[in-house]
Amino acid sequence: MSQATLRVQKISGHAGSVPGEGAQREYTVCKLIDTTTCIGCKACEVACMEWNDLPFGETSFDNTYQTMPETRWNYWNLILFNEHEKEDGSLMWLMRKNQCMHCADPGCLAACPADGAILQYTNGIVDFQQANCIGCGYCITGCPFDIPKMNPKTNRVFKCTLCSDRVSEGLEPACIKSCPTGCLHFGSKEDMLKLANDRATQLREHYDFPQAGVYDPAGVGGTGVVYVLHDASKPELYGGLPADPHIPWSVKLWKGPLKWLGNAAMIGGLIGLAVHYLRFGPKEREETIKEPHEGAEP
């Protein structure tokens, strides 16, 4: 725990400075998911459950390979299977491992009112601290990727931790370790972007994917999870991956201008009333009111 404080760069709902900010030298970590080499084996799903000791839950069957429609509070890593019809009429799989994107500018953290319920570590991992979570669900509203999920029993929100426990010990996340095709990589953001761009170039130049590219959306300051996509111009095809994700404008308005306007109005109002009282006083002084009722009381 002593080290943990030093590894934090952003704290949700926190008044004042971040205690350990800038105390440690760390590089931003990143997970690279190459959707073009994913075979949909779900080893990453199993590894996630194994490492995090998540309970086995009911899966659903909707005539696809997909384990369940979306991630759950206790199922943080889910491959989304999309059968895509190409222009020539042939079919191809677009499979995307979906989990928290670990945004550099996290909407969940911006929306969260509870002190210390969401942390962003110096290495970029965004982690929920359920002990401090109050269950308001604002993070659900703040997230542009529909990732935080509420545990209905405990009213606390959960999501992928990027195996922050493993990473802090110098290990790669469990999902990375389990991937049999090497479509998952883990390292510094810099290295992963290099690898991703090389792969995208390869796909454009040597394969039939002229639109291949890297998904590292700038709207949320870049993400701690980057994708290589066959067609980077249409990320929506991959189970609704937003083309231009950003913190919802209403959340920004609410946590920005509205907050300062509201605070100024409240403080100004209090001062205004106090000044009014000093300037004009009550509408009538007590001693001028002759109320028989009051005189009769002891």
Least CB distance to other proteins at residue 286 (A): 6
218 CB contacts (<8 Å, ≥6 apart)? none
* Contact between 135 and other proteins per CB under 8 A: yes
The only residue of 18, 41, 46, 134 in contact with other proteins, by rule CB under 8 A: 134
* Contact between 291 and other proteins per CB under 8 A: yes
Least CB distance to other proteins at residue 4 (A): 20
Judged by CB under 8 A, which stretch of 32-40, 83-91, 112-120, 201-209 contacts other proteins? 112-120
Cβ atoms 120, 36 nearer than 8 A: no
- What order do you get walking across the sheet with 118-121 strand by strand? 8-11, 118-121, 126-128
Structure tokens at 207: 């394969």
Judged by CB under 8 A, which stretch of 170-178, 204-212, 218-226, 272-280 contacts other proteins? 272-280
Least CB distance to other proteins at residue 11 (A): 9
Cβ atoms 49, 75 nearer than 8 A: yes
Cβ atoms 102, 224 nearer than 8 A: yes
Least CB distance to other proteins at residue 131 (A): 10
Least CB distance to other proteins at residue 194 (A): 33
Closer residue to other proteins (CB): 126 or 179: 126
| Contacts to other proteins from residues 58-97, by CB under 8 A | none
84 CB contacts (<8 Å, ≥6 apart)? 91, 92, 93, 94, 237
The only residue of 181, 201, 233, 250 in contact with other proteins, by rule CB under 8 A: 250
* Contact between 17 and other proteins per CB under 8 A: no
The only residue of 62, 277, 278, 298 in contact with other proteins, by rule CB under 8 A: 277
Least CB distance to other proteins at residue 148 (A): 9
Residue reference for tokens 């969260």: 112
Cβ atoms 102, 221 nearer than 8 A: no
Structure tokens at 124: 């970029």
Cβ atoms 90, 67 nearer than 8 A: no
Q: What is the distance of C-alpha 142 from the center of its chain?
A: 8
225-229/78-85 β-pairing: unpaired
Number of Cβ within 10 Å of residue 120's Cβ equals 24
* Contact between 21 and other proteins per CB under 8 A: no
Closer residue to other proteins (CB): 39 or 271: 271
Least CB distance to other proteins at residue 241 (A): 13
Judged by CB under 8 A, which stretch of 58-66, 203-211, 221-229, 280-288 contacts other proteins? 280-288
Binding flags for other proteins, 151-170, as an x/- string (CB under 8 A) = -x--x---------------
8-11/91-98 β-pairing: unpaired
Judged by CB under 8 A, which stretch of 51-59, 193-201, 209-217, 267-275 contacts other proteins? 267-275
Q: What is the distance of C-alpha 274 from the center of its chain?
A: 43
Least CB distance to other proteins at residue 128 (A): 14
